Amino acid sequence: MQLEVETEVGVRVRVHPALCEGWGNCHRFGGEVYPLDADGHVDLHLLDVPAELAAQARLGASACPEHAITIINPDR
């Protein structure tokens, strides 16, 4: 019997700047993925995230109370 091992793959992150209220939760839980500007708002619009940071990207996005971040999973 052979087990399938799921490996992490990179993701694409899309930030919706008009929705960002500057809570900083994305940075708190995904600091390597989500930089903040001087006003505390996420400072990116579209980013390809490598596999080693994909879990951090998902966690940071899920922590956003305004749902200003969308994770786009690649086609498998």
- pTM of the complete model: 0.83
What DSSP string describes the chain?
--PPPPPP--EEEEE-GGG-----HHHHH-TTT--B-TTS-B--SEEEE-GGGHHHHHHHHHT-TT--EEEEPPP-
* pLDDT of the residue at 75: 66
Number of other residues whose CB lies within 10 A of the CB of residue 15: 21
Residue 5 in this model has a pLDDT that exceeds 60: no
pLDDT category at 39 given cuts 50, 70, 90 is very high
Give the residue-averaged pLDDT of 56-72. Answer: 97
Encode pLDDT of 7-31 as tens digits. 678 999 999 989 999 999 999 999 9
CA–CA distance, 28 with 56 (Å, rounded to integer): 10
